[in-house]
Amino acid sequence: MKIIKLFGLLAVAYMISGCAPEVGSDAWCEALGKKSKADWSTNEALDFAKNCLVD
């Protein structure tokens, strides 16, 4: 029974940690702002300019 509970807990933790913020949200803009600009994709740069710089 303990193994089943442990597996369930790990599955929930995995699902929660896999959620990325929605593109254009404040959390997404903040996370991308912390990421090195050299690692941005073209789409990320365009979305950042559209959603985070232009209000």
Question: Would you state the pLDDT for residue 55?
Answer: 59
**Within its chain, how far is the Cα of 18 from the centroid?**
8
Does the model's pTM come out above 0.85? no
Q: Three-class SS of residue 38?
A: helix
Distance CA 29, CA 39 (A): 15
Distance CA 48, CA 24 (A): 7
44-48 own/partner pairs: CB under 8 Å, 24+ apart: 47/23
Largest CA distance in the chain: 53
Kindly report, residue by residue over 1-47, the tens digit of the pLDDT: 888 888 887 777 676 766 778 898 999 999 999 999 999 999 999 99
**Residue ranges per domain, the chain?**
21-55
